[in-house]
């Protein structure tokens, strides 16, 4: 299957690119090559690439900025998806479009969730743009999937959890976090696997795909900081106290009803027992992409069983296994396979210095243990490529 991914450098798009490329031919042009707001570029690329599937992960997601940048938000969030929908229909390919919980008003009594067929009633300019994008997709693309998700977090792009950690590591700072908005933090990596499953099942229609269970943003922040060993002072506050331009829904809960009914729910139950779960169960990539801990767990975020399989490949010794081992070593050091010996050495020095035991001695036990594993892996990778 040939899949055209738009927004492939973003939080969800990058995960989809990594996961889908394992089984399919993935084409991921940048904005200069394909800007979705340009009808001519959309048509030209669809004609030249002839994809089976178009996955749209592009979006203007700054909720407050959407209130003042109407022209930009309409171009990116409404006209762009309409172009893709019309183009996909012309060239008879499936369109997968990512939408948001913000299409709802959040007025339901917590913990009552929103279902796929509930009436949209957005409160903000961002929510209205996502609602209109859904309408554009439904009206113009007969073969489409709309995936609504919420509180997404991952390696790339900005998100709530990264923001909390970045604020938490600033010394002598007290910050406030909203305690009257509830939702389900959803791991972008797992959502990408869910999208893959929707593709394999040839699904059509509108689906909700978020993690199971819920928490307030304050509960989420407190849990993450505690598990990371970050001693920060945080205080709960109301959404009324939050200095933002956009009105936000209080209830962001989405029920994954169709995924469950059709037997293809892959998003995890992350928040059912908030304080008893391991941090690796709740936030499997919680230490990725945050400044001084930016790629600490990059090799430990595989699907179930994949890590053990990789270990077996590295130790079995055959030509194919040796090649796989070298490929992994390049990934561990964050360099391409065409990297020069000097580039490999520089990458090793940078990472080894970052994760040297002396550099992480002040962190919590969980951090130090994972950092030690990472440091050992960096050393082993460098030995394979010397």
How far, in Å, CA of 266 to CA of 2, rounded? 23
Asked if 103 contacts 120 with a C-beta cutoff of 8 angstroms, the reply is yes
Longest dimension (CA), the chain: 62
Is residue 153 among the annotated active site residues?
Answer: no
User: Which residue bears the tokens 């707001």?
Assistant: 37
Asked if 145 contacts 198 with a C-beta cutoff of 8 angstroms, the reply is yes
Cis amide bond preceding 111, omega within 30: yes
Give the closest residue to 377 by CA, choosing from 335, 317, 333.
333
How far, in Å, CA of 342 to CA of 338, rounded? 11
Where do the DSSP E strands lie in 150-197? 152-153, 174-178, 182-183, 186-187
Buried b (16+ CB within 10 A) or exposed e, 102-138: bbbbbeeeeeebbebeeebebbbbbbbbbbbbbebbe
How far, in Å, CA of 111 to CA of 326, rounded? 49
How far, in Å, CA of 32 to CA of 198, rounded? 29
Q: How many CB atoms lie within 10 A of CB 284?
A: 20
Question: What number of CA atoms fall less than 13 Å from residue 24's CA on the CB side?
Answer: 21
How far, in Å, CA of 14 to CA of 7, rounded? 8
- Check 126, 153, 214, 355 and give the catalytic one: 126
Bridge pairing between strands 152-153 and 215-216 = unpaired
Instruction: Provide the 8-state DSSP code for 288.
Output: B
How far, in Å, CA of 3 to CA of 86, rounded? 17
Token readout for 111 is 């913990």
Asked if 20 contacts 43 with a C-beta cutoff of 8 angstroms, the reply is no
Known catalytic residues are: 126
């Amino acid at each position: 299957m040939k899949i055209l991914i738009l927004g492939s450098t973003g939080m969800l798009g990058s995960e989809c690119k990594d996961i889908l490329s394992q089984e399919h031919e993935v084409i991921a042009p940048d904005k200069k090559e394909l800007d979705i707001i340009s009808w001519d570029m959309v048509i030209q690329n669809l004609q030249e690439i002839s994809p089976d599937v178009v996955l749209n992960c592009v979006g203007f997601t700054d909720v407050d900025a959407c209130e003042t940048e109407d022209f930009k938000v309409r171009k990116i969030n409404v006209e762009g998806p309409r172009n893709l929908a019309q183009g996909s229909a012309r060239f008879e390919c499936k369109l997968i479009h990512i939408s948001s919980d913000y299409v709802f008003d959040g007025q339901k009594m917590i913990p009552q969730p929103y279902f796929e067929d509930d009436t949209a009633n957005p409160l903000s300019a961002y929510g209205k743009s996502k609602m209109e994008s859904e309408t554009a997709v439904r009206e113009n693309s007969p073969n489409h999937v709309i995936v609504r998700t919420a509180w997404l977090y991952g390696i790339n792009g900005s998100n709530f959890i990264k923001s909390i950690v970045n604020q938490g590591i600033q010394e002598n700072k007290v910050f406030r976090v909203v305690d009257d908005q509830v939702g389900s933090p959803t791991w972008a990596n797992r959502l990408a696997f869910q999208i893959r499953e929707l593709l394999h099942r040839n699904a059509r229609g509108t689906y909700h795909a978020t993690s199971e269970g819920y928490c307030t943003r304050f509960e989420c922040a407190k849990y993450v900081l505690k598990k990371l060993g970050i001693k920060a002072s945080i205080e709960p506050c109301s959404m009324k106290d939050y200095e933002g331009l956009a009105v936000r829904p209080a209830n962001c809960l989405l029920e994954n009803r169709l995924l469950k009914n059709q037997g293809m729910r892959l998003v995890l139950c992350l928040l059912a027992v908030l304080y008893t779960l391991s941090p690796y169960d709740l936030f499997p990539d919680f230490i990725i992409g945050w400044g001084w801990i930016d790629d600490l767990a990059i090799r430990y975020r595989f699907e179930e069983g994949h890590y053990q399989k990789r270990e077996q490949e590295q130790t079995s010794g055959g030509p194919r296994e040796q090649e796989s081992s070298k490929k992994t070593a390049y990934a561990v050091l964050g360099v391409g396979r065409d990297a020069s010996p000097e580039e490999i050495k520089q990458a090793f020095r940078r990472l080894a210095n970052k994760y040297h035991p002396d550099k992480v001695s002040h962190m919590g036990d969980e951090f130090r243990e994972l950092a030690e594993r990472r440091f050992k892996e960096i050393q082993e990778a460098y030995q394979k490529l010397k």
